[in-house]
A and B are shown apart, each in its own frame.
Chain A
Amino acid sequence: MSLPFQPEILWSDALLFVLLAAVSAFVLHVRRHEHLCVPWLRVAQSRIGMAAAVILAVYAAIGVLDSLHFRPALPAEAGQPLRYGNEVRSVLDVVAEPLRTRVEKTYSEPFALHLYAKENLTLADGRQVRDYPRLKHGGAHLADERERAGDIARRAIVGGLWGAGLAFGLWLLLGLSQVRRGRGVATATARMLHAQEWAAWRTALIALSLLLVLGGVLVQLAGHYHILGTDKVGQDVFYLSLKSIRTGLLIGTLTTLIMLPFALFLGVAAGYYGGRVDDLIQYVYTTLNSIPGVLLIAAAVLVAQVYIETHAELFDTAAARSDLRLVFLCAILGVTSWTGLARLLRGETLKLRELEYIQAARAFGVTHLRILSRHILPNVGHLVLITVVIDFSGLVLAEAVLSYVGVGVDPAMASWGNMINGARLELAREPMVWWQLAAAFLFMFVLVLSANLFADSVREAFDPRAEQR
């Protein structure tokens, strides 16, 4: 049997799936242990934390959709075995097919009907004029250009209503599940709308409902207009922004995945064994810290670049090439950023090592490895978690800066850094091309802000002082 597509697992996809598996395992582990659940239940009681989590979840969903890659089959020729194209697509591309394919010639403003550059046009009567031509796709369905405002408003309202309907359905479903658990309609309503312990969940639901409404509006409009304009080569900026989400998320999470083993192993080892081991590890990270990070990253990325170019035969698609560069960037970011967490863990381990329960374990002759895994690691877990969540937003921003400088991800890859880089020169142009920068800023801002808010509520929930209250 031959599928109409061939699944393609890029390196970064594989790592992302590993990460997802690890997170799922972690969640299962937490659920089985009462003391581990407690702080997470506190997170679930924070209204801001829950709203931020909803937004993060939407971002994550888009990122995961964009990581399910495949190569579509080429049109079948009789008698030939089925062959697959060289172009790698993702499920997100399929969902957003119209966005991807409706490419204009060059820049156009958000919701514009005309290009942003004048061209020589031949009128119906054969006269040549120099004017802004109509877009091929943006607003192409409009017979009369004056209908635009009314059309946008109508579509926005329809989309909004769709979203609102979905949201209402969601509330109704939740309410029904309450009723089915044996509570009366009145109590279920009261619980959902007023109960104190539902406050955070209510906030999350409201955030989700608002997102649904917004999503409805966007879906209705994006099919007919370029809602965030188009870039230099006419690609839809909204589509690029969506594609950039995966890049941002990968940089934020894969880096952590690569950095964690270093930080955990070296930090804990330095603190627990002390003496020469400690001296050596401290020496390594002090040295590493004194090399300017950007220099190290630039050098490493250039090396990777050369390797990829001289071994072109190893990569059968362009996507695989740019993907390897992304993974490499994550790796080098990880290698340079483990020092902070390692230092933190070393300090905490130094403190834990002297605690009496560790002494008691040593009095039992428990092996070092077992002390590390049963006594030390679980007790530094909260530090690791807090650091990881806080570092995430920093890494997303770092990607933007590095791509802007030119040592970030592949220029062909959609990323916020590349969008900003592309917008850089056009900002000086009169009239200004502002939408690329604005779109990248908006998407990044929302992600980083929710990540920070979420990190804040996680930090607060894991604060040992909170337990005493």
Chain B
Amino acid sequence: MTSGLLLRDLRVEIAAGDRRLMPVDGVSLEIGPHECVALLGESGCGKSLTALALMRLLPDGLAITGGEARLDGTDLFALPERAMQTVRGGRLAMVFQEPMLSLNPVLTVARQIAEALAVHRGMRGGAAKAEIERLLLAVGLPAELAASYPFQLSGGQRQRALIATMLAGEPRFLIADEPTTALDVTVQAQILRLLKQLQAERGMGLLLITHDLDVARDMADRVAIMYAGEVVEWAARDVLYGRPFHPYTQKLFSVLPSTQRRGERLDHIPGSVPPLGTAFSGCRFQERCPQVWARCQQEAPGLYELQAGHRVRCHLAVEDRPGVAQAKPSIVAGATADRAPLLQVRGLALHFPIRRGLFRRSVGAVKAVDGVSLELRAGETLALVGESGCGKSTLARGILRLIEPTAGSVRLGDEEVGRLSGEALRKKRAEMQIVFQDPFASLNPRMRVGEVLEEGLQALRPEVGKAERKERVARLLEQVGLDASAALRYPHAFSGGQRQRIAIARALAVAPKLLICDEPTSALDVSVQAQILNLLKDLQREHGLAYLFISHNLAVVAYLAHRVAVMYRGRIVEEGEAASVMARPLHPYTRLLLASAPGQGLPRDAVFSERFAQVGCPFAPRCGEAKPICAERNPALGEWQDRRVACHLYG
């Protein structure tokens, strides 16, 4: 094959002292023109390094030590650097994850596109100007945005602008490295659709790097699954999603939470991705594989061709395992929710004053949370969903009184949290705890795990003696599935999933009744996410905990939550039983969110606007069913059938 992008047996090496680490070890891929290939895998498996190696942009200390890459017949690794510069951004372009970091903050969008045009196509002056407009139009940005700086754009607009700069060189192939991971689902759907459409129009090849099985299903023609620096399975999309062969691929599917798995315990992959520098003997997946047998330990499997175009790196492809027994996922009863509400939030508002001038006069307020009412019973999970910036996390901090509320009341048990102060408030804090999103920022790197876990006890239960504290710490660690010796180590010795377990243990140390989980799994790999979700379920069943579960991942919400509250611009727009909201969303915003979730085909055309109205319903400018009244009056949250909805369409 001379046309297309061909990668054969790529090896990337890190020289670390006298050890040689191989983060990418023999990766082969082929992408035809007009084709989209997804490179799928958990973090640390070498996906991004493969892409960077293709662009010859590996960071210092890493080197390509083997393999070849051919772009329409040109050997990329043999090109001199000068020639490679014209290839980069020209025939081969790359879109990165974080658009804010990929665009130069001091140049306008037009300047950045013009630069690419001048370098790769020699266009200047009027011609370039016209081309810039054409490109912006192609990525769905109005031409007047050409003169704006990156910080003036929203996340989605920035990603579009970045794609426009990449298209300027008329690439034959585009590498997109997690292009939508930092974006909201609604924006993600837009960007994915844009990429797919551009690919079809221009006949580009697209290499999409992602960790999201659903995104890959919507986008890819063929999929490569990577694990620990190797491609373990390579097949056409329908084959892979229909009949996954490799145990790892099968596991990846079975750990995904979804509505259908409600009440079930999620399957999980024990352990975590092997760290860089692990010395492998035999199969790299053997330690986590449910079907491992002697041969896997002795011999590394080759990439066997199962059928035309379906390659698998597993001994099962050539030999049946002696004595196969598939374990069925165990079904657990869901926790039964109490009747009396544990948490009652009434009209909670959190406004941040905007201060100007010498005397810091308040000239207005950002209404991050604007009159939210909620109820939560013991043993129940209420999910709070919404796009970033809708006030979910602020609401959580307001309930905990980490931020002082502007108005409204929070009752926990039979006490008003807002009225407590001093010692009484500190006592109350033992009943409500929080688990944060980023397991790397939520543990003090200078404290041992034992000290981290003891901190809450020391602050809230000073009467507990030293010996008993130690004993409790050991019990907590056991509860979250960690070894008791972990108490003596520092957080940096643990992986992301383990750190999240520690963070959960820290919250549990003071025996809370309410646990607020602020996106507890969004920074984790899917296999680890399943472990954490199972843990949360177990803890709820054992201790009757109430969870306020903040998430933007609708699949997780559908799996875990009893009830769902959807937030938009600081207010709740729909609230009801999780199953019924997921099955039959009423509010147009909820419908948009559900339709944007990946894995069900790309949405046709959603009305897209990032404006929001100051008067009337804030969602009206984005709403396809807006009526004249929507522009005038903000609808109140009212009862409608089995739930509460804030929309003029109902009631």
Q: Which residues of chain A are within 8 angstroms of B334 by Cβ–Cβ distance?
A: none
- Whose C-beta in chain B lies nearest to the C-beta of A34? B490
- Whose C-beta in chain A lies nearest to the C-beta of B425? A365
- Say yes or no: A363 contacts B455, CB within 8 Å: no
Q: Nearest Cβ in chain B — how far from A274, in angstroms?
A: 12
- Whose C-beta in chain A lies nearest to the C-beta of B14? A469
A126 located at the interface, meaning its Cβ lies under 8 Å from any Cβ of chain B in the complex:
no
Q: Nearest Cβ in chain A — how far from B28, in angstroms?
A: 29
User: Contacting A357 at CB < 8 Å: which of B18, B433, B441?
Assistant: B441
Q: Which residues of chain A are within 8 angstroms of B443 by Cβ–Cβ distance?
A: 357
B343 located at the interface, meaning its Cβ lies under 8 Å from any Cβ of chain A in the complex:
no
Known contacts A356-B436, A364-B510, A378-B446, A469 near B402 by CB under 8 Å: no
- Say yes or no: A364 contacts B447, CB within 8 Å: no
Q: Which residues of chain A are within 8 angstroms of B510 by Cβ–Cβ distance?
A: 364
Tally the A-B contacts, defined by beta carbons under 8 Å: 67
- Say yes or no: B459 contacts A360, CB within 8 Å: no
B419-451 to A contact mask, C-beta < 8 Å, 1/0: 000000110010011101110011111110000
Known contacts A355-B441, A360-B506, A363-B433, A35 near B446 by CB under 8 Å: yes
Known contacts A364-B510, A366-B459, A374-B447, A356 near B438 by CB under 8 Å: yes
Q: Which residues of chain B are within 8 angstroms of A366 by Cβ–Cβ distance?
A: 455, 459
A122 located at the interface, meaning its Cβ lies under 8 Å from any Cβ of chain B in the complex:
no
Known contacts A34-B490, A359-B397, A364 near B455 by CB under 8 Å: yes
User: Contacting B459 at CB < 8 Å: which of A35, A356, A365, A379?
Assistant: A365
- Say yes or no: B18 contacts A360, CB within 8 Å: no
Interface centre among A35, A375, A379 (most CB of B within 10 A): A35
Q: Which bucket holds chain B's interface residue count? A: 20 to 34
User: Contacting B434 at CB < 8 Å: which of A196, A363, A370, A379?
Assistant: A363
B620 located at the interface, meaning its Cβ lies under 8 Å from any Cβ of chain A in the complex:
no
- Say yes or no: B444 contacts A359, CB within 8 Å: no
Q: Which residues of chain B are within 8 angstroms of A374 by Cβ–Cβ distance?
A: 444, 447, 455
- Say yes or no: B442 contacts A357, CB within 8 Å: yes
- Say yes or no: A370 contacts B446, CB within 8 Å: no
A379 and B18 CA atoms in complex are apart in Å by 32
- Whose C-beta in chain A lies nearest to the C-beta of B492? A35
Q: Which residues of chain A are within 8 angstroms of B446 by Cβ–Cβ distance?
A: 35-36, 378-379, 381
Known contacts A360-B442, A365-B426, A370-B459, A196 near B18 by CB under 8 Å: yes
- Say yes or no: B402 contacts A35, CB within 8 Å: no
B61 located at the interface, meaning its Cβ lies under 8 Å from any Cβ of chain A in the complex:
yes
- Say yes or no: A362 contacts B402, CB within 8 Å: yes
A36 and B445 CA atoms in complex are apart in Å by 10
A151 and B290 CA atoms in complex are apart in Å by 85
A392 and B163 CA atoms in complex are apart in Å by 50
B174 located at the interface, meaning its Cβ lies under 8 Å from any Cβ of chain A in the complex:
no
- Say yes or no: B459 contacts A469, CB within 8 Å: no
Known contacts A363-B433, A365-B460, A469-B16, A35 near B397 by CB under 8 Å: no
B456 located at the interface, meaning its Cβ lies under 8 Å from any Cβ of chain A in the complex:
yes
Interface residues of B (CB under 8 A from A): 16-18, 61, 397, 400, 402, 425-426, 429, 432-434, 436-438, 441-447, 455-456, 459-460, 490, 492, 503, 506-507, 510
A-B contact pairs, 10 of them (CB 8 A): A196-B18, A360-B503, A360-B506, A363-B433, A363-B434, A364-B460, A365-B429, A365-B460, A366-B455, A469-B16
Q: Which 5 A-B residue pairs are closest in the complex by CB-CB distance? A: A365-B426, A356-B442, A356-B436, A378-B446, A364-B456
Interface residues of A (CB under 8 A from B): 34-36, 196, 355-357, 359-367, 370, 374-375, 378-379, 381, 469
Known: A196-B17, A360-B442. 12 other contacts (CB 8 A): A34-B490, A35-B445, A35-B446, A357-B441, A360-B434, A363-B402, A363-B432, A365-B426, A365-B460, A370-B459, A374-B447, A378-B447
